Structure 1
Amino acid sequence: MKNINNLLTLLTILLILGACEKDGDTFFLSSPKENELVASVNKITLTKETAQLYAMSFAWTNQTLQISDERYSPTTNLQFIIQASLNENFTGDVEESIVNGFSQSYTIAALNILTYRLNAIAEQENPVYFRLATSNGSNIKPVYSNTVKVTITPYPIDMRYANILAKESGEDTGKDLYSVNADGIYQGFYGATGWEGIHVEEANGNIWFTDAPGGIGAPFQITTTGTIGSWDLWFPELEGCYFTELNAVKKQWSALYLGSLNIEGMPEGFYATYDHTTNQWKGVFDGTANETLNLRIGGTGKLFNKDTGDNKDNAKDVPFAFGGTAEQLTFSTGEGITTGSISVIVPATGSCTLVIDLNNPAQWTAKVQEGGNVEPEPEPEEGEYLYLPGIGAAVNGKWAYDHRISVYDKDEKKYAGVVNVASEWGDYAITLFGEGEAWNDSKVYKCREGNSTNGKLTNSGGNNITAPDNGLYLIEVSLSELTYKTTAVTEVACYLGIPDNEDLISLQSTDTPGIYSGSITLPEDSKWGVQFVINSWAGYFGGYEGKLYYNANEGIKSMPAGTYNVTVDFINATYSFNRQ
């Protein structure tokens, strides 16, 4: 009864309005007249080298809606759509672009993608037909402009590569995923920070976003409907190396987290750490020239996908293994897989670095490079280090600046580090400058009062600081309080960072001063992060991406439950966890 009353009311209003009209006061809208379409070129050859330049433009005349009474203006806007087809009758595949305004320009890359979607033949002349479809609204049949023929020679599109885009700007990061069969299944390794987000663009112009049905993001489900800056493909909170797969066919993606690598065939004590900025695993060792090392590289990763979501507690343990050759590594996952033997040649005797390079998704490699540092260290910032000339062996009868400690509290000017003391003269100084820098008395600190264990500093006069007996020491310095303290390192252990578990798991010293190793078992994920503890909390270190940091309240994060072989190098401030 209520609905009937509403209808009667509406009809009454319409009758009243109709009665108010005078004869002949009938208004109507009509479809726009044909609109002349003009192209800037009628023939063009596209090249990849000029992909970002503009190729061609279309323009058309201003078109207004017709109305029977010039006193009134239309209440709807025209909708312009440029259509493109390889068929003059616009049958078969038709590409459409909605346009705002009265012109449209295409870059060479965009025009090349358009022809690719129309199945044009690369490196051949293809007649492409364009026309403008114009309407007053979605429920009104469009009016078409004249047809413009443009002969286009496109270049081939390599559908094997997909670009990883920055989520905010949409700019190409220079990192790619790779589809070996050009079948829409792309893979590659990516170094991600916690909750980092990306978009992925295929060579045909498709950009993939996280699907968000009902406005709620669905982790690891993807769609091409979206805009740059919204609903990115986000990685879980674990920071580090991910084997990433995007399946454009199933509209899903996944991320396998590699927390560590088990590398067999390297000298005892070797460990590798992951650098997400270079997308490489690196480890330093003492090598012998022309020696062949036969490596087996594998481990167990944490798989995140549509079924697990992005919660690390739900991630699935998945074995992984590298194979192939050093010049062309392969990667496989799943139960029952085995590692392949990968041979690398050691180029020199002495300090060398194994580098597993995962940058090129079409060609992962493993090689040994001469030297302990693959890349030169960046110049330190002012005040980043304190140098301890005299605490180690002399070089050419002079103090050497090869021992240093790092700042851990810049505001309070506090420094700490582990040093292997071997002083030839039994004393040392503390400086804010290193080897090759000019001597500056204002940046030299000596002992005002104290002994080899602790004391007060001054940078105006004073005496050299008495060096402790040879051995490994934790040295702490405060330039704000002008104090120093040395603690002999007698034991090293791991704190697991698990609630209600205060256990310290001992690590054993090695033949190399400052390097300790051992095995730890995490019965559950480390909530607060693993820490390296010296002398039952006389000092402790946390870490990030293989680097140690003193007094880090949060330990080494992203440590899931499992058993690990642990190595820590206090002097070089590095660490590694290799899952068993």
Structure 2
Amino acid sequence: MKTIKNFFLTLAAITCFTACEKDGEKIYLNSLEPGDLIASENTVMLTQKNSKQIVLSLAWTKDALTVSDPDMQAPDLTDMTMQVSTSEDFSNSITESVETSLSKAYTGAELNTIAKNLGATPNVANSLYFRVKSSTGNNMKPVYTNTTVVSVTPYSIDMSVGYILDSKQEETGNSLYSATSNGEYIGFMGATSWYNYYLREGDGTIWGNDGVSGTAFLLSSENTKWNFWFPALSGCYYVNVNTNKKVWSALYISNLTVNGDIEGEMTFDRPNMRWTMTFNAAQAGNLTIRTSGTGQLYDYSTGTDNSDSDTNPGIATSIAFAQNGETLTFGQQPGDIIINAPAAGECTLILDLSNPKAWKVEVESGNEKPTEINPYVYLPGVDDAINEGQNWTFDNKLSLYDEDNLSYAGAVNTGSQWGYQIAIEDGNWEDVYTLASGDAYQGTLAFQSGTNLPAPAEGLYFFDISLKAQTYQLTAIGNEIYYSGANDDWTLHTLTATADKGVFSGNVTIEKASEYGIQIILDTAWTYKFGGTDGVLYYKGTNITEDAVLAPGTYTLTVDLINRTYTLK
């Protein structure tokens, strides 16, 4: 901020100059005059939906300092501050922000936070008063623009819930809970290998990793943040995100054992965020059990690398549940849990962890096994034109890569006469998806509609479908694909198509083990990425790390996209 000392130094220079050039003539410096302030809106209704949108813009004028001699120019020493208050005379609490331009735009989240900090009442219209204060020094009387009033209806800011966002910062429907709204959010998450996410607080602040390599469990809300990511172990995690300490941790729960009136091992149902176990009840009535297990804690001290191997198994941690009224508590010491068998015979014990505000235990009659998700879908009819003499087959398949969205992907050599279908089970001709709308390259699916999906032009394509969203998309694969990451070099290096359809090959010079492994990339836009383990390719999978055990030298990397395999030798 410019000080009044700088102001007088500049004024002295002006005076000195004029004394030399215009002897005996007095030169005056005029003070600031109030500017004009206008607002783009006079009424703003705030919601979570417009929290990221610009909802209000303000612009204003200012009069610069002037010198009485038109041949001279005064320096710009003006400091500007935007003031917002709930009272027209600004006698109540005020929020201030230093401004360097003649306009300001507020997103819904920013304006909502201002309203909250000023004590505005949620879900009703509140008058917020805006003005710009201008001054030329700490001991100079400031001037103000006119006051502009805007009716703002803020939404409630619930700081007890942390919303889980996906890698595109879109809602997932999952959340963590802060019982005292103190910035520490806890709960259980069902994560696949290397699952990544962001967390949004009620005031709109989005948290992720601090954007620095090697600091996987440190938080940041800056624009440079990365997404959080879990270790390679897929399953149940107890998550603690602390926005005050700017750290988070993930406690992987590998098993849960039930002891007491019934005994056994529970199974984790990841899509439904619950643990289940079937048992036979001798009769209806109350039973007393205890539930405990072991876990592996991953935090800033462990990182996430190699978490599926002996090199970094996490910190061994005992875990257990106890009962507190109708809900469960989580810790390291087990406590008695009273359950009620509704009837004699086969029953299912359910530990429901889906609601972070209330973990519950219940028993249902019958066998409530988790729904099994097919690892593949099949494409009968997709290649009947290039495999003469063969009827439609289930030979071409796509692999599951996202359980939550039932998303499948893979490369297929296509050549179809009559179009094709998407079957959810090998040999099952009835439970198939066909065309709802779209063309040969993208559109929507319908279950058992009777109209085949249209055939694309003959060639190699990458298929990406979601049975949950009921969408499909095909992307042509050219004569080149790429690898990246070897020797920690993240430029794209070419792999060339061979005589075998879907097979690409090229040389890789290994100088050192890569820190993050090697990726297979299908396009220069980096839209489609494969990783791999033990010679098997996985779409969006963990990076290939075979280079870590190879001596420096030149090797041949061969990738078979159709059969989902690779070699580096």
TM-score of the two chains, using structure 1 as the length reference: 0.50
**Conserved in 2, the CA contact under 8 Å of 1:265 and 1:296?**
yes
Offset of residue 292 of structure 1: 4.4
Q: Deviations over 1:239-287 (max 9, x none)?
A: 3222111223333322222111122258666541341x33222344556
User: Matched residues in 2 for 1:314 and 1:142: separation?
Assistant: 62
User: Matched residues in 2 for 1:359 and 1:185: separation?
Assistant: 18
1:302 maps to which residue? 296
1:202 maps to which residue? 201
Q: Which amino acid aligns with 2:172?
A: T
User: Matched residues in 2 for 1:282 and 1:552: separation?
Assistant: 31
**Conserved in 2, the CA contact under 8 Å of 1:58 and 1:104?**
yes
Q: Which amino acid aligns with 1:96?
A: S
Of 187, 192, 217, the match for 1:220: 217
C-alpha distance 204-146 of structure 1, shift in aligned 2 (>3 A): same
Q: How does 1:487-498 map to 2 (within 5 A)?
A: none
2:97 maps to which residue? 96
2:415 maps to which residue? none
User: Matched residues in 2 for 1:368 and 1:75: separation?
Assistant: 78
Q: Which amino acid aligns with 2:350?
A: V
User: Matched residues in 2 for 1:53 and 1:308: separation?
Assistant: 35
Q: Which amino acid aligns with 1:302?
A: Q
Offset of residue 362 of structure 1: 0.1
The answer to whether residue 256 in structure 2 is matched with residue 255 in structure 1 is no
**Conserved in 1, the CA contact under 8 Å of 2:210 and 2:225?**
no
Offset of residue 331 of structure 1: 0.9
Of 323, 337, 342, the match for 1:341: 337
1:192 maps to which residue? 191
**Conserved in 1, the CA contact under 8 Å of 2:251 and 2:295?**
yes
Of 347, 350, 366, the match for 2:361: 366
**Conserved in 2, the CA contact under 8 Å of 1:325 and 1:343?**
no
**Conserved in 2, the CA contact under 8 Å of 1:293 and 1:346?**
no
**Conserved in 2, the CA contact under 8 Å of 1:83 and 1:97?**
no
Q: Which amino acid aligns with 1:112?
A: N
Unaligned runs of 5+ in 1: 1-18, 385-405, 413-430, 439-550, 558-580
Q: Deviations over 1:338-365 (max 9, x none)?
A: 3332414356744x54332222110112
2:273 maps to which residue? 279
The answer to whether residue 110 in structure 2 is matched with residue 114 in structure 1 is no
Q: Which amino acid aligns with 2:341?
A: I
**Conserved in 1, the CA contact under 8 Å of 2:255 and 2:265?**
no
**Conserved in 2, the CA contact under 8 Å of 1:117 and 1:204?**
no
**Conserved in 2, the CA contact under 8 Å of 1:211 and 1:217?**
no
**Conserved in 2, the CA contact under 8 Å of 1:323 and 1:342?**
no
Q: Which amino acid aligns with 1:245?
A: N
User: Matched residues in 2 for 1:141 and 1:355: separation?
Assistant: 69
SS of residue matched to 1:381:
strand
C-alpha distance 266-282 of structure 1, shift in aligned 2 (>3 A): farther
- The alignment covers a number of residue pairs equal to 382
The answer to whether residue 326 in structure 2 is matched with residue 330 in structure 1 is no
Using the aligned pairs only, state the percent identity.
28
User: Matched residues in 1 for 2:170 and 2:73: separation?
Assistant: 42
Offset of residue 434 of structure 1: 4.3
Q: Which has the larger radius of gyration?
A: 1
User: Matched residues in 1 for 2:325 and 2:354: separation?
Assistant: 14
User: Matched residues in 2 for 1:174 and 1:437: separation?
Assistant: 29
Offset of residue 435 of structure 1: 9.0
**Conserved in 2, the CA contact under 8 Å of 1:95 and 1:117?**
no
User: Matched residues in 1 for 2:367 and 2:216: separation?
Assistant: 43
User: Matched residues in 2 for 1:152 and 1:176: separation?
Assistant: 28
Offset of residue 100 of structure 1: 7.6
**Conserved in 2, the CA contact under 8 Å of 1:199 and 1:233?**
yes
Q: Deviations over 1:534-570 (max 9, x none)?
A: xxxxxxxxxxxxxxxxx9899xx9xxxxxxxxxxxxx
Q: Which amino acid aligns with 1:303?
A: L
**Conserved in 2, the CA contact under 8 Å of 1:326 and 1:367?**
no
Offset of residue 121 of structure 1: 4.6
2:169 maps to which residue? 170
C-alpha distance 99-343 of structure 1, shift in aligned 2 (>3 A): farther
TM-score of the two chains, using structure 2 as the length reference: 0.51
1:159 maps to which residue? 159
Output the aligned Cα RMSD.
5.6
SS of residue matched to 1:259:
strand
C-alpha distance 124-368 of structure 1, shift in aligned 2 (>3 A): same
User: Matched residues in 1 for 2:343 and 2:233: separation?
Assistant: 35
Q: Deviations over 1:394-426 (max 9, x none)?
A: xxxxxxxxxxxx9999999xxxxxxxxxxxxxx
C-alpha distance 237-376 of structure 1, shift in aligned 2 (>3 A): closer
Offset of residue 233 of structure 1: 3.1
C-alpha distance 376-196 of structure 1, shift in aligned 2 (>3 A): closer
User: Matched residues in 1 for 2:58 and 2:334: separation?
Assistant: 61
C-alpha distance 172-436 of structure 1, shift in aligned 2 (>3 A): closer
**Conserved in 1, the CA contact under 8 Å of 2:38 and 2:60?**
no
SS of residue matched to 1:261:
strand
2:349 maps to which residue? 354
User: Matched residues in 2 for 1:220 and 1:202: separation?
Assistant: 18
2:231 maps to which residue? 236
Offset of residue 178 of structure 1: 0.7
C-alpha distance 318-53 of structure 1, shift in aligned 2 (>3 A): closer
Unaligned runs of 5+ in 2: 1-16, 23-28, 381-396, 401-409, 413-424, 433-534, 543-569
C-alpha distance 243-134 of structure 1, shift in aligned 2 (>3 A): farther
Offset of residue 37 of structure 1: 1.9
1:382 maps to which residue? 378
**Conserved in 1, the CA contact under 8 Å of 2:122 and 2:154?**
yes
**Conserved in 2, the CA contact under 8 Å of 1:31 and 1:135?**
no
SS of residue matched to 1:131:
strand
1:128 maps to which residue? 128
Q: Deviations over 1:104-137 (max 9, x none)?
A: 2543x5433221123335467755322246799x
**Conserved in 2, the CA contact under 8 Å of 1:325 and 1:342?**
no
